[in-house]
Amino acid sequence: MAPQPVRIGTRASKLALTQSGHMQQRIAAALGAGPGGVEEAAPLVRITTSGDRIQDRRLLEAGGKGLFVKEIEEALLDGRIDCAVHSMKDMPAEQPPGLVIAAVPEREDPRDVFIGREVSRLQDLPSGARLGTASLRRQAQRLHARPDLEIVMLRGNVDTRLAKLRAGEVDGILLAYAGLRRLGLEAVVGEALDPVQAPPAPGQGALAIQTRAEDADAPWLAALRDAPTALAIAAERGALEALEGSCRTPLGAYARIEDDQLLLSVEALSPDGRLRFRRDDQLGVPASQAPAGLARELGLLLGRQIREEAGDRIVWA
C-alpha cells in the first residue's frame, strides 16, 4: 500500500520553488517513491503570501517578517497541506500554537554578498553611492561601516533586484549568498562578506520544515534533519527571541562549529547604524554532545545582555 502523500506548502517565487523542489525530492525518497512518483508522493502546493504581494515598502511597515509565512501556516493548520518549506530567516521567533519546526536540513552558505554595477567590492563604492537593500539589518550594518552611503529601499525577488542594479537605479545591492547559489547565480557575486564581522540574519541560509505538532515525529522527517545545522540555528534563534523577533530591530546572529565547539556572535544596531552592540561567546560543552536547548540558552543569554545594554535604541520607530 502506497504511503499517504505529503502535501508541501511553498511560496510561488522562483527561489522558493527551487528550495521546495529540493526538499520535495528528499521527502518523496524518504516515503519510498521512485523518480517517476515524486509529484504523486509529495506534491507542491503554491501559496501566495502577503509578503509576496506587498512590494512598495519595508516588511516592518506592513506587519513584519511573518507576512511571508502567514497564509502558508493557515493552510497547514487547516489541513490543506501537510508540511511547509520556509526560509528560516523568514520565521518569527515564536511558532503559532499547534505548529512546530520539525526539521532543519543542512545549511547553505549563510553569508551576505555584495553585487556592484561598476565595482566588485563594497569598500570600493564611492562616497554617496546608492546601496539597495530592504533589510534593516543590512542597512544598519553598512551605515555603521560607511555612513557616507545612501541606502535605497529595494524590494522584489532576486531577478527584480538584479534588473534594478543593471538599470542603474542603485550602484550596488546586498543579497543572501544562499539564494544565489540555489538559483545557480554565483557568477554575479562581487564579494562575500565576513559573517563574523557582519553577522547575517538569524537562520540565513537554512530552511525550516514546519508541520503540525502532532506530525513532528513522522518517520520521513528524519531524512531531512541535520544536527549541526539545527544546533547553530537554535543558538541564533535564541538571540532572535531575546532581541524581539520582528523586522523592527536590526540584528544579526552567526553560530558556527569549530573544533567541536559552538561559537556564537550576536549584534544589534540602531537603525541609522551609529550605535552597535555586540556579544561573542561559546558553549561550555562539545557541540557533538550539546542539546539544541542549551544552544538556544546561549543565544537567549547574549541577546538579553545586548537588550539590557541597548534598550530601545536598537528599535526602529
Amino acid, res. 187: A
pLDDT of residue 68: 75
Across the range 40-65, mean pLDDT stands at 71
pLDDT of residue 49: 81
**Picking from 55-64, 178-187, 215-224, 269-278, which range would have the lowest pLDDT averaged per residue?**
55-64
Burial class (CB in 10 A: 0-12, 13-18, 19+), 226: middle
Mean pLDDT of the chain, nearest integer = 93
**Picking from 34-48, 165-179, 232-246, 248-262, which range would have the lowest pLDDT averaged per residue?**
232-246
What's the pLDDT band for 55 if we cut at 50, 70, 90?
low
Spatial CA neighbour of 29 closest among 50, 3, 68, 49: 3
Catalytically active residues are: 90
Is 260 in a helix, a strand, or coil? coil
Domains of the chain listed by start with CATH number: 112-192 (3.40.190.10)
Distance CA 54, CA 64 (A): 11
pLDDT of residue 35: 85
More confident: 315 or 182: 182
Q: Are 223 and 105 in contact (CB under 8 A)?
A: no
Distance CA 238, CA 254 (A): 11
pLDDT of residue 248: 80
Distance CA 47, CA 71 (A): 7
pLDDT of residue 244: 75
pLDDT of residue 315: 86
Q: pLDDT per residue over 214-271, tens digit each?
A: 999 999 999 999 999 999 999 999 999 999 755 688 999 999 999 999 999 999 999 9
The answer to whether the predicted template modeling score (pTM) of the entire model surpasses 0.85 is: yes
What residues pair up with 292 in beta bridges, in sequence order? Answer: none
pLDDT of residue 57: 55
Q: pLDDT per residue over 181-217, tens digit each?
A: 999 999 999 999 999 999 999 999 999 999 999 999 9
Burial class (CB in 10 A: 0-12, 13-18, 19+), 33: buried
Residue 65 reports pLDDT greater than 80 = no
Across the range 29-33, mean pLDDT stands at 95
Amino acid, res. 88: M
Beta strands in the chain, from DSSP E residues, in sequence order: 8-10, 44-46, 83-87, 99-103, 112-116, 130-132, 150-152, 172-176, 191-192, 207-212, 251-258, 261-269, 276-282
Beta-carbon contacts of 148 under 8 Å, excluding residues fewer than 6 positions away, are 127, 128
C-alpha distances (whole Å) from 39 to each of 132, 155, 218 are 38, 32, 19
% of the chain with per-residue pLDDT over 90:
85
Q: pLDDT per residue over 73-98, tens digit each?
A: 999 999 999 999 999 998 988 899 99
Distance CA 212, CA 83 (A): 7
pLDDT of residue 158: 92
Spatial CA neighbour of 172 closest among 147, 191, 197, 145: 191
